[in-house]
A and B are shown apart, each in its own frame.
Chain A
């Protein structure tokens, strides 16, 4: 482990291209333990490619990723095994004896205590995504990667999930990289927001400093960065 000052992950000069199309070009990123970083960007800007490279799912063409061998990932879809009861889904890949007790505790944490023997098909979308979250956190990861995990949920469920994930991250303190389209979600959850464009990080915002005068100005700036201009209404 050559992590500088024990960062959760350090990415240096990362390159990735599909054929001639360059997706990531010289990207640098550092996430501290317990730090919540949100990555915004238009579709096709390379943010999901970055996350998949960090997860070890896609190879890279240049640069280095200095992080845990196996970060935990929550995908946009819950990806629960329909044939395994909830606890087995949470404990997937763990030693069985120890895994079951931990899985039951993790299900408790996400508000699904006592459902460990239930089938995934009996869950709502929000509940299934909470199980996916339990599956990620039960491994006590030093780096947690979230690939638009709330995008498919309804608005109210999404707000509940925001609260839950904030609490769990505060408790377990992994470094978090959240990839999202949702500016409000990024402001609600992140310590630092990055906007990715053209395969690089185009701008960085420290949320605490930016929102001293209320979240609206940051919201406008971020939307502006993403190519959305809001017309000021005459008051």
Chain B
């Protein structure tokens, strides 16, 4: 009975306190931080449960190693330097592939976005290539590029190109025609139109493309690194599979996830900085 009353009195107390305007605001701030804490609760509980289950012998280490084992593996690989070496290779491939694919996608997007002629000439072909599941290309890529770096970078570039291309075209096409009329009556030069109206106007869409591209770059890399290689996170995972080292396999999965999350936060930080003018990206906004 006492438990029941204390439970039911909680919310009542709160709602009576939050009736005033100022109270409501502080109340909401509190709730926000609580929600943030709560959002970490489920993953934390999961890890704790996993650890316990491993220790109690409910999960065999060959199936899924305990989180502590994974951390210990990470530590070992960090200490002898192998992790950094493999990570460095993977990051470099992702970066080069992103730079090449991103540049091509952006250039094609600008061209097609501006010119109906370029759209007629290029867009259908690009969409056809996009429709190919790029795993299907893997054998061809190996034939073309061998098992060297070039093939891996090609796969990443190809994956990155499309989201950047599509979102650049979309961003340019969505420019308000009224603003282009304004450009005309203010006597803006063609260069001014592009740098002051079209590109800034297309930027939110382009940055959305960048976020997508970062995600697929990583995805492409995982696949690319399964092609015969001796360096990279993907190699680490393949190698571990051969020897049934589940602890290393889980570690590589965690690394892929962590880098994916980091890349996404970096892209979001870029959005917040470049799109400070945009109401949706204003400071303090959570998306």
Give chain A's interface residues, CB within 8 Å of chain B: 55-57, 70-73, 75, 77, 79, 81-84, 88, 92-93, 119-121, 135, 139
Contact = CB atoms under 8 A, between A and B. Distances in A.
B188 A93 contact: yes
18 contacts: A56-B184, A57-B181, A72-B185, A81-B201, A83-B200, A83-B275, A83-B277, A83-B278, A88-B196, A92-B182, A92-B188, A92-B192, A92-B196, A93-B183, A93-B188, A119-B276, A121-B279, A135-B186
Interface residues of B, number: 22
- 4 nearest interchain CB pairs? A93-B186, A83-B200, A93-B188, A73-B185
B197 A81 contact: yes
Interface of B: 178-179, 181-189, 192, 196-197, 200-201, 203, 275-279
Contacts of B275: 83
A228 B184 CA distance: 37
A56 B179 CA distance: 15
Contacts of B179: 79, 81
Chain B contact residues: helix, strand, loop or mixed: helix
B194 to A, nearest CB: 13
Contacts, number: 55
Chain A contact residues: helix, strand, loop or mixed: loop
B186 A92 contact: yes
Nearest to B199: A83
Contact of A82 (B178, B183, B196, B277): B277
A23 B247 CA distance: 78
Contact of A55 (B185, B188, B278): B185
Nearest to A92: B186
Contacts of A81: 179, 196-197, 200-201
A121 B179 CA distance: 16
Given A56-B185, A79-B181, 18 more contacts: A55-B185, A57-B184, A73-B185, A75-B178, A81-B200, A83-B200, A83-B201, A83-B203, A84-B200, A92-B186, A92-B192, A92-B196, A93-B186, A93-B187, A93-B188, A120-B277, A121-B277, A139-B186
Contacts of A135: 186
Nearest to B274: A83
Contacts of B201: 81, 83
A201 to B, nearest CB: 24
B224 to A, nearest CB: 37
A2 B279 CA distance: 48
Contacts of A77: 178
A106 to B, nearest CB: 13
B67 to A, nearest CB: 45
Contacts of B196: 81, 84, 88, 92
A197 B200 CA distance: 42
Contacts of B181: 57, 79
A93 B277 contact: no
Nearest to A77: B178
A19 to B, nearest CB: 21
Interface centre among B187, B189, B200, B203 (most CB of A within 10 A): B187
Contacts of B192: 92-93
A57 B178 contact: no
A119 B269 CA distance: 19
Contacts of B186: 92-93, 135, 139
Contacts of A119: 276-277
Nearest to A76: B178
